[in-house]
Amino acid sequence: ETGVTQTPRHLVMGMTNKKSLKCEQHLGHNAMYWYKQSAKKPLELMFVYSLEERVENNSVPSRFSPECPNSSHLFLHLHTLQPEDSALYLCASSQGTLYRSTDTQYFGPGTRLTVL
């Protein structure tokens, strides 16, 4: 596979369930990102990982737990979600230099999450 892939593409879960979203990048990048896209709202940055280390957490509730085991994989673990967490969750990756990065972010196709 090429680019950035995400699984599953669709997920329906109850508020008491535990599930995980998976992202994999095949671009050799060293940074990965989770975004939330809700209707009528701009994309919201959730988490940023650089070289497997979390460098940003944008005040995201603890019911969302990211994991980056290596530079190619990123997970978002979900537990006890609320209906307002229903959204499209997008993963992205980018390649930056050690000292400066404004490089382009490449996105996966997203996971459409519905919380009942």
> Can you give the binding site for another protein, defined by CB under 8 A?
30-31, 33, 40-43, 45, 48-51, 55-56, 88, 90, 92, 94-110, 112
How many Å apart are CA 22 and CA 73, to the nearest integer?
A: 7
Residue closer to another protein (CB basis): 59 or 104:
104
**Residue whose CB is less far from another protein, 70 or 104:** 104
- Least CB distance to another protein at residue 19 (A): 19
Pick 42 or 83: Cβ nearer another protein = 42
**CA separation (Å) from 81 to 16, 18, 20, 24, 52?**
7, 9, 12, 23, 25
Classify residue 21 as exposed, middle or buried by CB count within 10 Å of its CB (0-12, 13-18, 19+).
buried
Closest distance to another protein from the beta carbon of 84 (Å): 19
